[in-house]
Structure 1
Amino acid sequence: MTTYKQPIQGKSFFLGGLLMLAQTTYGQHISHTTSNKVSLNLSEALNRLKENSPYLLQARIQTEVAHEKVKEEKEIQLPDLDFHASYYRMSNMVEYQHADQVVHYQTIPDIYDATVNVKMPLYQGGRIKIGIKQAEKRVEIAQLQEKQVYREKALEVIQTYLGICKLVALDSLLKETLKEQNERLNLVSAFKKNGTITKEEVLQASLQCSNSTLDILTNERNTKVLLNDLKTLLQIPERDTLLLDTKSALSMNHTELLIDKLQEGALNREEVKIKQQATEINELGYQSIKASTKPTLSLFGTFGYNYPNYMLFLFPPHPYLYSLGRIGIDMNFSISHLFKVKTKLAMAKQSIELAQVQEKIQKDAIQDAMYRRYMAWLETQDKIKVIEKAIAQANENYRILKQKYFNQMALHTELMDADTALFRTRYQLLSAQIDAVAKYYDLLYTSGQLN
């Protein structure tokens, strides 16, 4: 595969100036009633995510549960210790020797016992060790899922944060444009008083100002929505006011990106490793089924006190307390299981093959997604260069038409079209620059390097 190498382009003074202007007024139009002010740059937002996210807390608890499952599997190796005690009363025994002859025997009515039983597995065909290994693999999966949840939520925070940056920059651009339009409206109104232009042109200029004002209001509402989304992600109280360092989020030093290294890193993503662990768990499951065909050995022992003594098989029993203990080895082997296990083994093999296919599909999907995102990122770099040239042309076009209009050499509609074209190219530039940063982080996420 051809290797592409492209560094992140430096941010232009245009976007930097917009964000510097926005930072001075940003906290004002988003503030609520009495509340705390929370200042966050992007790194601080990600740290707050790690501390407060309920999704991460859920993943951590699932990891802890997986660790407990390992302990549970290891406890199977420990001996089982039981204590049994009983007390009951027995009636006298009546023996019917013949139809007309009944013999009564006196018994000892009070009977009790106290017994301790111990049983410890010695050999289970390897099933205990296999069970422990499977539980340990599930711990690794839970840990990978925890990292995956963090990366997914971190990307969501980054995209939301950058979305706010775009809207804040757009707010400054809209207000700057509205200021220019208001100045032009004042001049057009002055020309109208002198009778050099028509009322229609004044109305057009006024309508353009009204539209820009509506755009500012819409943009502010959209900003509040994204701020609320970010508060929810970071578990910040809704009444608090967020103050974001929008400039630093876009001026970070980004490393160079190589598609080969990105795709190599993508194959180490949590999703791929989870599929690999799933394959290994299925392989262990196959081994466990095979182990179930082997005999099991257990060490057992019992010791107890009993009263009265019925162990002599004499009647009446001896009215004495006695103790008795046993120790030995118990073996169990299921012959029928040798025939019944064949279907289970075949199904276990198919599960292994299915897991391997799913792992391959996952790798291919990630590599394809990696390449598409890399090409999209390269496109943003080329787009920025083109738009930077277009914005210079739009500026010059607007300057010329503005001069012509006030010299009565151009129509007002031509000036408005030039103004709209200038605004559009300026917005395209700030949008492309922020999209380039967003796609950069998206690349890091897809390649598994967003940690």
Structure 2
Amino acid sequence: MNNLRLLAGLLPVALLSGGVCSYGQSVITLEEIFEAAETNSAQLRPSFTAQTEAEREISVARAGRLPDINASLSLSYIGNGFTTERSFSDYQKAPIPHFGNGLSLNVTQPVYTGGAQTYAIELAELKSTAARYATDFQRNNIRFQLTGFYLDIYKYTNLRRVIESNIFAARKVLEEMRARYEQGTALQNDITRYELLMSNLELQLVRINNTLNILNTNLVTTAGLSDGTVIVPDSTILARSLPMGEEHRWQQEAMENSPSLSLARSAVDINRKAEAIVRSERLPKIGLQAGWTLDGPILVEVPPINRNLSYWYVGIGISYNISSLYKSNRSLTKKRIATQRAIEELNAAHENVSLTVRADHIRYLEAYETLKTQEKSVELAQRNYRTTSTRYSADMALITDMLDAANAKLDAERQLVNARIDIIYYYYKLLFATGKI
């Protein structure tokens, strides 16, 4: 009887032991993990580089407005010539100075390009904006992925504590059964049954530890934390007061801030600007020109004059690509189709985001209802445990009844913590869908 009372007293201790972390690691909050990923994540760095590259493209496009300056220098050996009649008779040698030189400098300043230069700059700016949206999209994906790892670590840590408590309780039951077996009041089959239960629990514990190891590695690697870091989730995350909010508010947030929608809108703007560039090909190009040339000898005279001829010029150059009238039609049609596709993809993205927000909002509210149910389940499980413990102490209940009541209480408490975690998960999922994570 004393052993049974000892068992009844140890079971509550096992239940309460789940609230104590047996690992001396420092607690890391989810926000701290986000900050670490911002600077250290290998998956995010390519997005930052692409954004910087797109910003440099703006400078390249603006450089198109600068004048074109070309300089050339040539030195040559000129062989002797000859002259003949038109019938190729009366052949006569024509000595020519053998050393030839040429020096020229040309400057062209675009004045009007049909809007091509302006459109090229605006296109580069749109691509830079799209690169920034792509970075935001990748950042949100990484943060939501980290959130999943973080909350899963919390869940499996909680499950490990439950399993460890069950193992502790099962060992005490085995000790009691072996004592009863020696007294002849228990069967060997009961002992075998609990030994099998112990084996299954220990196997579950091994699997949980392996899962936690995988999750920790995934989180540490994705966040760019140092090797060997062991993530201990912040238990206060369960005590946070999260806003409910009506669906239309979440929908509005998503329409304004969703990176996927911003990317889709940028694609439409980029394609429209590409159309404008194609249309600019049909317009003339005007530029200011200036040049200076120094050539020698003067070969246009017979006999050649062994002197340098230098001249300069300034003026206005006008060019028009006549073939663009019939060649650009196909390119323009292609660009218009690409713009239409981008618009259709934007509409599809609107629909997908709207559906995602609606589903996540429903699950978010459902998680609160689940929490209420689990709180009631914990209350009932605790009441059942107290009743069973009292009856067990009075020899009015079997040891199996006691263990079942303890398992029910442990499971209810685990489900309660998981229900609170689910609220946090769906809240962050809504933040992810609306681009606010």
Using structure 1 for the length normalisation, give the TM-score. Answer: 0.86
Contact 1:56–1:149 (8 Å) recurs in 2? yes
Residue 154 of structure 1 is matched in structure 2 by 143
Equivalent residue runs for 1:122-201 within 5 Å: 122-201=111-190
C-alpha distance in structure 2 between counterparts of 1:243 and 1:156, whole Å: 15
Equivalent residue runs for 1:190-339 within 5 Å: 190-238=179-227, 240-268=228-256, 269-310=258-299, 313-339=300-326
Residue 48 of structure 2 is matched in structure 1 by 60
Work out which of the residue numbers 64, 80, 95 in structure 1 matches 2:83.
95
**Gap change, CA 1:199 and 1:325, over 3 Å in 2:** same
3-state DSSP class of the match of 1:241?
coil
Residue 422 of structure 1 is matched in structure 2 by 409
**Gap change, CA 1:280 and 1:100, over 3 Å in 2:** closer
Residue 48 of structure 1 is matched in structure 2 by 36
The one-character-per-residue Cα deviations of 1:293-321 (angstroms, maximum 9, x if unpaired) are 111112222202222233xx321122222
C-alpha distance in structure 2 between counterparts of 1:386 and 1:211, whole Å: 29
1:381 and 2:368 aligned: yes
Contact 1:84–1:114 (8 Å) recurs in 2? yes
Contact 1:181–1:209 (8 Å) recurs in 2? yes
Residue 3 of structure 2 is matched in structure 1 by none
Contact 1:18–1:169 (8 Å) recurs in 2? no
3-state DSSP class of the match of 2:57?
helix
**Gap change, CA 1:176 and 1:417, over 3 Å in 2:** closer
3-state DSSP class of the match of 2:91?
strand
1:439 and 2:417 aligned: no
C-alpha distance in structure 2 between counterparts of 1:39 and 1:385, whole Å: 28
Q: By how many angstroms is 1:110 displaced?
A: 0.7
Equivalent residue runs for 1:105-120 within 5 Å: 105-120=94-109
3-state DSSP class of the match of 2:114?
coil
C-alpha distance in structure 2 between counterparts of 1:356 and 1:99, whole Å: 71
Residue 12 of structure 2 is matched in structure 1 by none
Contact 1:201–1:412 (8 Å) recurs in 2? no
**Gap change, CA 1:252 and 1:18, over 3 Å in 2:** farther
Residue 3 of structure 1 is matched in structure 2 by none
Contact 2:97–2:304 (8 Å) recurs in 1? yes
The one-character-per-residue Cα deviations of 1:146-171 (angstroms, maximum 9, x if unpaired) are 11111111111121111111122222
Contact 1:40–1:243 (8 Å) recurs in 2? yes
3-state DSSP class of the match of 1:87?
strand
Q: By how many angstroms is 1:182 displaced?
A: 2.2
C-alpha distance in structure 1 between counterparts of 2:408 and 2:317, whole Å: 90
C-alpha distance in structure 1 between counterparts of 2:19 and 2:189, whole Å: 37
Contact 1:286–1:348 (8 Å) recurs in 2? yes
**Residue identity opposite 1:177 in structure 2:** N
Root-mean-square deviation (Å)? 2.4
3-state DSSP class of the match of 1:393?
helix
C-alpha distance in structure 1 between counterparts of 2:349 and 2:166, whole Å: 48
C-alpha distance in structure 2 between counterparts of 1:441 and 1:364, whole Å: 20
Q: By how many angstroms is 1:124 displaced?
A: 0.9
Q: By how many angstroms is 1:448 displaced?
A: 1.4
1:70 and 2:58 aligned: yes
Contact 2:18–2:165 (8 Å) recurs in 1? no
Using structure 2 for the length normalisation, give the TM-score. Answer: 0.89
The one-character-per-residue Cα deviations of 1:161-197 (angstroms, maximum 9, x if unpaired) are 1111112222222222222222222222222222223
Residue 341 of structure 1 is matched in structure 2 by 328
**Residue identity opposite 1:158 in structure 2:** T
The one-character-per-residue Cα deviations of 1:301-348 (angstroms, maximum 9, x if unpaired) are 2202222233xx321122222311122222122334223333333333
Residue 448 of structure 1 is matched in structure 2 by 435
Contact 1:63–1:146 (8 Å) recurs in 2? yes
Residue 354 of structure 1 is matched in structure 2 by 341
C-alpha distance in structure 2 between counterparts of 1:120 and 1:17, whole Å: 81
C-alpha distance in structure 2 between counterparts of 1:207 and 1:405, whole Å: 23
Q: By how many angstroms is 1:75 displaced?
A: 1.0
Contact 1:127–1:291 (8 Å) recurs in 2? yes
C-alpha distance in structure 1 between counterparts of 2:206 and 2:138, whole Å: 35
Contact 2:130–2:266 (8 Å) recurs in 1? yes
C-alpha distance in structure 2 between counterparts of 1:280 and 1:49, whole Å: 31
Contact 1:162–1:249 (8 Å) recurs in 2? no
C-alpha distance in structure 1 between counterparts of 2:378 and 2:172, whole Å: 21
Q: By how many angstroms is 1:412 displaced?
A: 5.3
Provide the aligned length of Structure 1 versus Structure 2. 421
C-alpha distance in structure 2 between counterparts of 1:18 and 1:158, whole Å: 26
C-alpha distance in structure 1 between counterparts of 2:301 and 2:293, whole Å: 20
Residue 21 of structure 1 is matched in structure 2 by 20
**Gap change, CA 1:99 and 1:160, over 3 Å in 2:** closer
Structure 2, unaligned runs of 5 or more: 1-14
**Gap change, CA 1:221 and 1:18, over 3 Å in 2:** same
Contact 1:306–1:323 (8 Å) recurs in 2? yes
C-alpha distance in structure 1 between counterparts of 2:147 and 2:69, whole Å: 56
Q: By how many angstroms is 1:92 displaced?
A: 1.6
